[in-house]
Structure 1
Amino acid sequence: MTTGGIRGSLTLAGVVVLIWTVLYLITQLLVSPALPVLPTLGIGVALTVGVVLGYPSALRGPRGGRSAHLGGAHRSGDRRDDPERSVRDLAAAGRSVPLRAGLTPDAARRTCELLRPMLSGDAVTITDRENILAFVGPGSDHHRDGGALQTRSARRAMGKGRTVVVNDPAGVGCREPGCEIQSAVIAPLRIGSRVIGSLGVFQAGTRIPPKRMVEDMANMLSLHLELAELDRERRLAASARLDALRAQINPHFLFNILNTIASKARTRPEEARELLLRLSEFFRYTVRQEGHFAEFAQEYFFVRTYLSLEQARFGDRLEIRYDIDPQVLTSRVPVLVLQPLVENAVKHGVARKKEGGTVRLRARLDPLTRMVSLRVSDDGVGMDPQVLSRLMGEGQPPQEAEKTRDAVAEGDVVLAGGGEDGAHAGVGLKNITERLDALFGDRYDLSITAPKAGGTVVDLSIPLR
């Protein structure tokens, strides 16, 4: 409680004591006969309640005081009088700034419209190094969106890489005679150490806009732009890996499939024609599929097309078993992640086993954890236990374990039974894990196990989309 509040409470207590003293003197000593006790108490209580309710005590404060204070704060046009509100405004802006999508004209305009009432400025602008991306407020008739920079102060702020404050039209340096802008605070926008644009807050009078708030907002916008740049680079990297995976698939088994089709062309022309149609469907999917995600139903059809082509090659040596939860069919999964895992099971598991074997594909959806679980397993030649141990990093320092996984993924370590083909058993695994890292971060799980009964099991769990 403040000193003023203590004084107010003591005053109120003194008034109450005085009321009861005067009441006693009047009703008990000066009046004859004296009033009974109950009427006296009733009068005293009524007077006390009236004084307490009407008195601006420390507990209540002045009547209307808080609302009047808040009303005054809301009526104040300058948020520098209310730092707490300014902080709240900045925090709210940080959650909704459109520049999170990048420094584009549309995002810049929406950001200017959002920030103008917060930064106590008559006009707000966002620019890149050469042009005005958006300008909202007085002066927009010549500070046009998409036009060249009109002020020397903006170029100076970006050239120096620090905030520029000007309080006269000459300092602003607008090219247009009679421009309404009289003062400004202009802060650079950065991605890392590179200045890519500016945030300007202008006034039609000589009162300088709040420099600290403009700098804080410019720093916040710069952070959003850095995040947007990281997202863009991540998407480009994931796209490059996806393109590399497409290029890797095409020649990988094309030669063998064409040989199979050629061998059937004379003896079984209808079967050869059907295989050609399936082959065209296979490559059409890899080339035309856009984006990084597709419905599982599409990926499932793609994998079945691939396996039907492989069955034409291996005949009875290759069996396929599917165990698919219907709920998974409509979920979205990364494109071209399942097929390489199935391809490894065929090429490096079953194909290297003299009597052949079975490849199993299982898919489940857990609505509670919102995870999609995929399993590709085979009963082929399996994986050397020592290699599996090194692959999973058991008994190795973290750095060495990572090197081993990279070596396996690049094909420098043989995953399955030996021979020249074994050196390529990890083809695409590193590509897949890097794509999953880019798409999900640490929200996925990919594991490889070698059951005692033989074969290899690959389990992949990804978030439901």
Structure 2
Amino acid sequence: MRGSVILATAVLVIWTVVYVITQIMVTPALPVLPTAGIGVALTIAVVLGYPSALRGPRGTRGSRTSRISSPHGRSEHPDHGVRDLAVRAIPLRSGLTQDAARRTCELLRPMLSGDAVSITDTENILAYIGPGQDHHLPGGVMQTSAAPRAVRKGKTVVVRDKAGVGCRSEGCEVLSAVIAPLRIGQRVVGTLGVYQATTVVPPKQMVEDMAKMLSLHLELAELDREKQLAASARLDALRAQINPHFLFNILNTIASKARTRPDEARELLLRLSEFFRYAVRQEGHLAEFAQEYFFVRTYISLEQARFGDRLQVRYDIDPQVLTSRVPVLTIQPLVENAVKHGIGSKPEGGTVRLRARVDPLTRTTSIRVSDDGVGMDPEVLAKLTAGHGDVGDHAEAALTHPSSAAEGHAGVGLRNISERLDSLFGDRYDLSISTPKSGGTVVELKIPLR
């Protein structure tokens, strides 16, 4: 704000001086056009020269802040490395691996005022960049006695001489070091070491601050890993929940057709094998919608063999949605709920509709499964629509202790679906259930476009 006031004042002074000289002091007065040209030229010159003329050259502000001379001849603010690191990608965000550690050391070395930087786990060197890297080898045991001491104590170790460093190699150039522990929670998982080829000790506070920041990234990586394991467990649970009654009914249907319609029975067996092959072997948490769509149609073809004309299905699929990625085994359970609890409980049968769209503006994929079956009790619906967490909890209760077919409509594995969506998308998805006045049930799912 202060700089803007200075610049505005300077421009005002320029135009005042130009006016006085060209219109008052000069006889006859200059025409308007030359006067304006002089004023504009001087204004542009001041504006362009303003950063150096009024504020001083870039980097001279804050000269009262103490500086640290790097071993490479650069002068740096003590907090410059931490601030830079806070806005850059940290390789350790992917976990404590040799490759991530090496790239992190390369990133940190010019920031930490040290000749060498090392990252270890609790036993071995993961990366070492700088003097001594000929014997401080990645994958090998820690060569110094100082690093294991930092792991054992869980505290920063500062050494000021070669004996304190305790390197196993007699020719090691390292003479001083600061080694800080890396933690995940209260557990020490490794060290960050900054070494000098002189007795000048690296700045302890900076190394500790950097170690804390790296520890934060390691904790986030651990949380990501646990989150993926939890999502995998839920996916396995969902596979295990493939309705055994569905399998039993389909096998009965195949058996009944084996004598009268053997070709149709063989076709149903092939489709059943495709159904279970996809459910069991699909890897990862996301798949193209086209794959899930094929899986749904395989399931529907099996159910139509059992229900006959009582089950009608309508598909309304935007071609753009076919290449988008959606959570594995999410659409089929929703369709199965509609078939089993909506249409299966209705003597005259009905229609299930699957609609899918992509919205490029909001970058979302929308999936809508609806039926014109028996619908859902308003009290059960109110519980299910209380929120994402409640959807899963009440759905499980409805499935475990169903008091009616409508209550059972909460759905096969809906709790696992809701929890998987939470783990994959956080609060960036929407799962809603409604019962239109015309009857039936509608389930709508909106997820981020992938």
| Structure 1: gaps (5+ residues) | 1-36, 39-52, 54-58
1:383 maps onto 2:363 in alignment:
no
- 1:306-345 alignment runs, 5 A limit: 306-345=299-338
Aligned-pair distance for 1:255?
A: 1.2
- 1:2-401 alignment runs, 5 A limit: 60=53, 66=57, 76-77=69-70, 81-83=76-78, 85-92=80-87, 95-249=88-242, 251-393=244-386
Corresponding position of 2:394 = 407
The structure with the largest alpha-carbon Rg is 1
Corresponding position of 2:37 = none
Aligned-pair distance for 1:439?
A: 0.5
Structure 2 distance, partners of 1:268, 1:408, is 39
Structure 1 residues 177 and 250: CA distance shift in structure 2, 3 A: farther
Structure 1 distance, partners of 2:389, 2:85, is 42
Structure 1 residue identity aligned to 2:416: N
Structure 2 distance, partners of 1:309, 1:61, is 79
Corresponding position of 2:445 = 460
Structure 1 distance, partners of 2:148, 2:265, is 68
Determine if contact 1:202/1:209 at 8 Å carries over to the other structure: yes
Determine if contact 1:384/1:417 at 8 Å carries over to the other structure: no
Aligned-pair distance for 1:69?
A: 5.9
Determine if contact 1:80/1:86 at 8 Å carries over to the other structure: no
Structure 2 distance, partners of 1:90, 1:380, is 58
Corresponding position of 1:56 = none
Percent sequence identity is 72
Structure 1 residue identity aligned to 2:281: R
Q: State the TM-score, normalizing by the size of structure 1.
A: 0.80
| Structure 2: gaps (5+ residues) | 1-24, 27-45, 47-51
Structure 1 distance, partners of 2:53, 2:141, is 58
Determine if contact 1:392/1:405 at 8 Å carries over to the other structure: no
Structure 2 residue identity aligned to 1:339: Q
Structure 2 distance, partners of 1:200, 1:194, is 18
Structure 2 residue identity aligned to 1:126: I
Count of residue pairs the alignment pairs up: 400
Structure 2 distance, partners of 1:285, 1:215, is 50
Which one of 420, 430, 440 corresponds to residue 425 of structure 2?
A: 440
Aligned-pair distance for 1:251?
A: 3.0
Aligned-pair distance for 1:81?
A: 5.0
Determine if contact 2:338/2:409 at 8 Å carries over to the other structure: no
Secondary structure of the residue aligned to 1:209 is coil
Secondary structure of the residue aligned to 1:158 is helix
Structure 1 distance, partners of 2:204, 2:67, is 21
Q: State the TM-score, normalizing by the size of structure 2.
A: 0.83
Structure 1 residues 67 and 74: CA distance shift in structure 2, 3 A: farther
Aligned-pair distance for 1:250?
A: 6.2
Structure 2 distance, partners of 1:81, 1:455, is 68
